[in-house]
């Protein structure tokens, strides 16, 4: 290697030294620099000399080349003269600069090639495909990391070896012979692993230099295919679900263009796919705003919007929700309901509710209005009784709320999720009462329903049965009811087989049961069975402090029924209500307030004294008496005695009913006849249906 000396500035020396140090042709051993060269001495520590005088450097250093970088012609000539008899070559500054430039370009090119090679290496190593390359002699020249993983072979051990010695099944040597591309070929590389590979020849200037194989593990491709198949299956399933739905469904994309409708949509709107798909969301609307566009704008769902759709202008209700995937709005879906169908279903639901109400308790203790001491005592007793299976006897005058208490007791008990059966013992004729209570077998009597029928006690199994007007039961029915309470079983009419029942009995009466027992009209043993937990409900005349609260509750209820807005009553009305004895109790109070509200103007919100109908709250109001029927009139009409008696009886019944505001129990009490007998006479004279 030739030894060189550089003459020039510190900067020139540093630049040239750094470039020449990368070659193996020149060894720079010193530098002549007139500056204090701290950088040079620091940069080059060993076997490098820095001089201030070029002659001293030439005299002390064995040299082959001197590079003059100052650009001084005189200095160049002086150096040539000084070394003319030696073998030292002097390179002028112009040539030195050309050399420096060429060397720098070479270094840049090498650096660029190195960077490009590094990038290509990174691409090859990070690709998800395996890559193996061979040269013309079939030796492996390249094997990336993915190829190592798939083939389970180390690149360090494989590179430089012939491909078939590493992978015996490789077909890359064949590509060297055919020079043809082979695409997507299956290849078994081990007992349990198959790849799909593409093989290509590598050419340079139309000369074959090797072959390259790019391949994937076939198991991954199978997995991807299965995922695609699963996605298609899910899509098919979703389409089948949407198409089988009875609800009309439409879907639009994020731009509000129709994407999907189901057959139910076509049946409802009359619009087929060609009229909707690919069309704006407004295409199906006859009247109203597009909820699809609204949802796409706000990204918030809407529900229960009425509009008209299709050429027939069908009245519908629409629910629309946005479709959001990975926080991006992709469209919206609408479910459309035919409003006429909803109205029909609502009617059917209301009918079902009416039927269910006969089997369920509607009220609870919070529905019992009032805070008077007597009422609160009754409520407290009822709550205690509700927590036990004991038979309860509700006692109180007509209209005090005995049935309301029965409902509340059932709803407070652990039987509240089972049936609550109500029976008015006085309203059903004795001949039918037994079959209604206990049921009957097929053919038990003429007109019996084929297959028989369950009775009220069987319907109330695990629940409660409310027997109102229990004092009106006939002696024979009293005996049968006693058996039910004692044995917990019933026998259907026409059968001898007992049926066990688990029923809580809640009985009610407004009769003086002790008097009935004394007159042998009611069985004492049955009374004692029913009277395990007696609850006395106070009459309204003993609850005068509750009038205001009761009136407010009745106003709220009747305002809905009559379309009024009565919220209060005057002090005079309250005082008038409190002066009256109310033989009909709360039922009569509701009747009076209801009649008053009917004749009030719909804008009135305060009930005043003049609004009240005629009832004995003042001396000015009284019920007009009907004129007595004169005997002469009957005789002149040539009526028989029976006809006269029947006519007179009818007039008496009408008069007493009017005086008792239609209260049949109170009417029967005034006439001193049983409630069953009263019903019979009312039907006989066509006073009720």
Using one digit for the tens of pLDDT, what is the confidence trace for 53-84? 888 888 888 888 888 888 788 888 888 888 88
User: Quick one: pLDDT band at residue 28, thresholds 50, 70, 90?
Assistant: confident
Q: What is the pTM of this model?
A: 0.44
| The pLDDT value given to residue 100 | 66
pLDDT, mean of residues 211-219: 84
User: Does 337 score more than 80 pLDDT?
Assistant: yes
pLDDT, mean of residues 508-528: 91
| The pLDDT value given to residue 629 | 44
3-state DSSP call for residue 474?
coil
User: Quick one: pLDDT band at residue 41, thresholds 50, 70, 90?
Assistant: low
User: Does 34 score more than 80 pLDDT?
Assistant: no
Average pLDDT, the chain: 83
Strand partners, 317: 306, 337
| The pLDDT value given to residue 43 | 56
| The pLDDT value given to residue 540 | 92
User: Does 266 score more than 80 pLDDT?
Assistant: yes
| The pLDDT value given to residue 628 | 46
C-alpha atoms less than 13 angstroms from C-alpha of 603 in its C-beta half-sphere: 0
User: Does 354 score more than 60 pLDDT?
Assistant: no
| The pLDDT value given to residue 557 | 87
Strand partners, 467: 423, 507
d(CA 481, CA 467): 11
Question: Which tens digits make up the pLDDT trace of 277-320?
Answer: 999 988 888 888 889 999 999 999 998 888 888 888 888 889 99
Question: Which tens digits make up the pLDDT trace of 555-591?
Answer: 988 888 888 889 999 999 998 888 888 988 998 899 9
Q: CB of 573 within 8 A of CB of 612?
A: yes
| The pLDDT value given to residue 548 | 92
Residues with Cβ < 8 Å from 86, sequence gap 6 or more? none
| The pLDDT value given to residue 625 | 43
User: Quick one: pLDDT band at residue 47, thresholds 50, 70, 90?
Assistant: low
pLDDT greater at residue 657 or residue 332: 332
d(CA 626, CA 32): 151
Question: Which tens digits make up the pLDDT trace of 221-244?
Answer: 666 766 766 777 777 787 788 888
Q: How many Cβ atoms sit within 10 Å of the Cβ of residue 502?
A: 13
Of the ranges 39-48, 202-211, 364-373, 589-598, which one carries the lowest mean pLDDT score? 39-48
Question: Which tens digits make up the pLDDT trace of 446-490?
Answer: 767 777 888 899 999 999 999 999 999 999 899 999 999 999 999
pLDDT, mean of residues 207-215: 90
User: Quick one: pLDDT band at residue 664, thresholds 50, 70, 90?
Assistant: confident
User: Quick one: pLDDT band at residue 135, thresholds 50, 70, 90?
Assistant: very high
3-state DSSP call for residue 375?
helix
d(CA 469, CA 424): 6
User: Quick one: pLDDT band at residue 442, thresholds 50, 70, 90?
Assistant: confident
User: Quick one: pLDDT band at residue 353, thresholds 50, 70, 90?
Assistant: low
Residue with structure tokens 């010695």? 165
Any idea how long the chain is?
689
User: Quick one: pLDDT band at residue 140, thresholds 50, 70, 90?
Assistant: very high
| The pLDDT value given to residue 404 | 93
**Closest C-alpha among 67, 57, 58, 59 to residue 25:** 67
What is the edge-to-edge ordering of all strands in the sheet holding 26-32? 49-51, 26-32, 2-7, 65-68, 89-91
| The pLDDT value given to residue 616 | 64
pLDDT, mean of residues 522-536: 92
User: Quick one: pLDDT band at residue 110, thresholds 50, 70, 90?
Assistant: low
Q: CB of 64 within 8 A of CB of 3?
A: yes
Strands, E assignment, 549-638? 568-569, 606-607
User: Quick one: pLDDT band at residue 357, thresholds 50, 70, 90?
Assistant: very low
Q: CB of 169 within 8 A of CB of 186?
A: no
| The pLDDT value given to residue 349 | 62
Residues with Cβ < 8 Å from 294, sequence gap 6 or more? 302, 320
């Amino acid at each position: 290697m030739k030894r060189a000396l550089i003459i020039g500035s510190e900067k020139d020396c540093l630049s040239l030294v750094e470039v020449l140090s990368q070659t193996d042709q020149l060894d720079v051993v010193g530098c002549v620099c007139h500056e204090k060269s701290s950088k040079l001495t620091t940069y080059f520590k060993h076997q490098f000399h820095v001089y201030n005088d070029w002659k001293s450097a030439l005299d002390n250093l064995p040299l082959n080349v001197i590079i003059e970088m100052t650009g001084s012609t005189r200095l160049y000539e002086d150096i040539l003269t000084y070394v003319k008899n030696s073998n030292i070559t002097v390179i002028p500054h112009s040539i030195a600069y050309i050399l420096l430039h060429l060397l720098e370009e070479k270094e840049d090119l090498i650096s660029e090639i190195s960077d490009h090679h590094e990038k290509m290496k990174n691409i090859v190593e990070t690709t998800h495909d395996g890559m193996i390359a061979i040269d013309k002699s079939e030796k492996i020249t390249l094997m990336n990391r993915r190829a190592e993983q798939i083939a389970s072979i180390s690149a360090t051990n494989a590179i430089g070896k012939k491909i078939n010695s590493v992978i015996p099944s490789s077909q890359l040597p064949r590509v060297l012979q055919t020079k043809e591309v082979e695409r997507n070929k299956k290849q078994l590389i081990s007992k349990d692993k198959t790849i799909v590979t593409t093989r290509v020849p590598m050419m340079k200037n139309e000369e074959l230099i090797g072959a390259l194989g790019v391949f994937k593990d076939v198991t991954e491709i199978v997995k991807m295919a299965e995922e695609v198949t699963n996605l298609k299956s899910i899509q098919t399933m979703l389409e089948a679900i949407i198409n089988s739905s009875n609800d009309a469904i439409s879907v639009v994309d994020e731009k509000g263009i129709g994407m999907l409708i189901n057959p139910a949509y076509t049946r409802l709107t009359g619009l087929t796919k060609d009229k909707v798909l690919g069309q704006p969301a407004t295409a199906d609307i006859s009247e109203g705003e597009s909820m699809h566009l609204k949802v796409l704008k706000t990204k918030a769902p809407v529900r229960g919007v009425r509009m008209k759709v299709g050429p027939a202008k069908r009245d519908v209700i629409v629910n629309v929700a946005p479709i959001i995937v990975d926080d991006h709005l992709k469209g919206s879906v609408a479910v459309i309901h035919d409003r006429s169908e909803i109205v029909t279903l609502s009617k059917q639901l209301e009918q079902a509710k009416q039927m269910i109400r006969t089997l369920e308790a509607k009220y609870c203790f919070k529905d019992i209005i009032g805070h008077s001491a007597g009422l609160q005592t009754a409520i407290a007793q009822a709550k205690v009784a509700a927590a036990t299976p004991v038979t309860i006897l509700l006692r109180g005058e007509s209209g005090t709320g005995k049935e309301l208490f029965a409902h509340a007791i059932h709803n407070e008990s652990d039987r509240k999720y089972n049936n609550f059966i109500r029976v008015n013992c006085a309203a059903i004729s004795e001949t039918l009462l037994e079959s209604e209570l206990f049921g009957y077998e097929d053919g038990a009597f003429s007109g019996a329903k084929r297959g028989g029928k369950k009775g009220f006690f069987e319907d109330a199994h695990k629940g409660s049965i409310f027997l109102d007007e229990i004092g009106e039961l006939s002696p024979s029915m009293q005996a049968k009811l006693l058996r039910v309470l004692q044995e917990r079983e019933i026998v259907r009419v026409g059968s001898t087989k007992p049926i066990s029942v688990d029923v809580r009995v809640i009985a009610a009466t407004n009769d003086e049961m002790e008097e009935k027992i004394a007159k042998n009209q009611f069985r004492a043993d049955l009374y004692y069975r029913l009277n395990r937990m007696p609850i006395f409900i106070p009459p309204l005349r003993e609850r005068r402090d509750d009038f205001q609260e009761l009136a407010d509750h009745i106003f709220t209820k009747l305002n809905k029924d009559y379309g009024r807005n009565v919220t209060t009553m005057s002090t005079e009305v309250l005082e008038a209500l409190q002066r009256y004895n109310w033989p009909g109790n709360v039922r009569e109070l509701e009747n009076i307030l209801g009649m008053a509200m009917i004749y009030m103007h719909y804008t009135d919100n305060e009930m005043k004294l003049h609004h009240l109908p005629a009832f004995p709250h003042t001396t000015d109001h009284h019920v007009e008496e009907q004129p007595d029927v004169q005997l002469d009139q009957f005789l002149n009409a040539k009526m028989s005695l029976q006809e006269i008696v029947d006519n007179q009886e009818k007039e008496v019944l009408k008069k007493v009913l009017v005086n008792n505001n239609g209260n049949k129990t109170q009417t029967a009490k005034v006439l001193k006849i049983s409630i069953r007998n009263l019903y019979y006479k009312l039907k006989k004279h066509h006073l009720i249906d």
